[in-house]
Amino acid sequence: MATAKPDVIPKAVEASGPIPLLVGAGISQPSDIEVSMKLGAAGGLAASAIVTADNPTKVLDDLLSGFNS
């Protein structure tokens, strides 16, 4: 979402009002989380990127670095 349709995130954040928005589509690398948060999301969700990885622990660690950018 952050790469394919970044314009959707600020619109969704505005529409959600006081409810924190989490982006859950297309999160597969740290920059996806970083961009989502810069666009106003409260965070990101990742499922398939972790579940299908050869090394899920490494992928999760890499994704977490997107929160520190």
Q: Return the structure tokens found at 35.
A: 């961009």
Domain extents for the chain? Answer: 8-68
Specify the pLDDT at position 44. 87
For the cut 70, the answer to whether the pLDDT of residue 69 exceeds it is no
Specify the pLDDT at position 64. 87
Specify the pLDDT at position 18. 96
Contact 46, 66 (CB under 8 A): no
| Helical (H) or strand (E) element with 44 | strand 43-44
pLDDT tens figures, 24-56? 888 888 888 899 999 999 998 888 888 899 999
- Comparing 10 with 5, which gets the higher pLDDT? 10
For the cut 70, the answer to whether the pLDDT of residue 10 exceeds it is yes
